[in-house]
Amino acid sequence: MSDERTYGEEEVAEIFRMAAEARNAGGGTSLAPVNGFTLAELQSIGGEVGLAPERVAEAAAAVDLRRGALRRSELGMPIAVGRTVDLPRAPTDREWEMLVADLRETFGAKGRTGSRGEVREWSNGNLNAFVEPTPTGYRLRLATTKSNGVALNRMGAASLMMALVTIVLLYVTGALAEEMLAPVMLSMMGGGALAWNALRLPGWAQQREEQMEVIAVRAAALLGAPPAPRLSGNGDPLLIPG
């Protein structure tokens, strides 16, 4: 049985939708075979409806990249997102600088760079990007955590718990009617904190995921080509003796 990557029905539809959007047209397909379609089969089908093979390949690559998306939630709200994409090789120094420039522009942050052995890192607070070796090559790993979202979630949950405990104690002592203001205030504080996070965290997570997808696609495209030759001072390629 061939080890060539196959695409299921939902992925097929997504690939053709994205490829069609690239040429300002709608499209998709369905009824994929049980084992899915290979990229060559998708390109053949796409050609029958006017989609260029390279557009289908680009869309398929984007679907593969999305499989590396990660999201961590707390209390049903996203608090951390990440993305991992395999790279065919390590970036050259120049390619790494290009990738760092792309990170700074996309996230609107200068950040700091560093390296440890084969690992290269760009970080800005809780936002991190790593290029690191793997058993099969290299990968770009992007990750960020909304630290104030985590703190607000825990403060909100703690306030609601304190309000509940206070109500129980006041009920037991028979002072609930006279001292109701305190648990009500605690409940409002806790509920407000959780409601604020529920409103803002999904949008934050979606924005970061979209930014990370852009970075992942560009990095894969940048390192998918052979490294550019080093240039001498007059712009000519350097000749390295064998």
Q: Could you tell me if 16 and 102 lie in one domain?
A: no
Q: How far apart are the first and last CA of the chain?
A: 42
Q: Is residue 165 part of a domain?
A: yes
Q: Could you tell me if 114 and 29 lie in one domain?
A: no
Q: Which domain holds residue 211?
A: 70-224
pLDDT in tens, 136-170: 889 999 999 999 999 999 999 999 999 999 989 88
pLDDT in the model for residue 68: 62
pTM: 0.65
List of the chain residues with pLDDT < 70? 1-4, 9, 20, 22-36, 39, 57-58, 60-68, 225-242
pLDDT in tens, 82-116: 999 888 899 999 999 999 999 999 999 999 999 99
HSE of 80, CA atoms in CB hemisphere, 13 A: 14
Q: Is residue 48 part of a domain?
A: yes
Residue 2 CB-density burial (10 A; 0-12 exposed, 13-18 middle, 19+ buried): exposed
Q: Is residue 104 part of a domain?
A: yes
Give yes or no for a contact between 208 and 144, defined as CB atoms under 8 angstroms apart. yes
Q: Is residue 234 part of a domain?
A: no
Q: Could you tell me if 108 and 212 lie in one domain?
A: yes
Q: Is residue 13 part of a domain?
A: yes
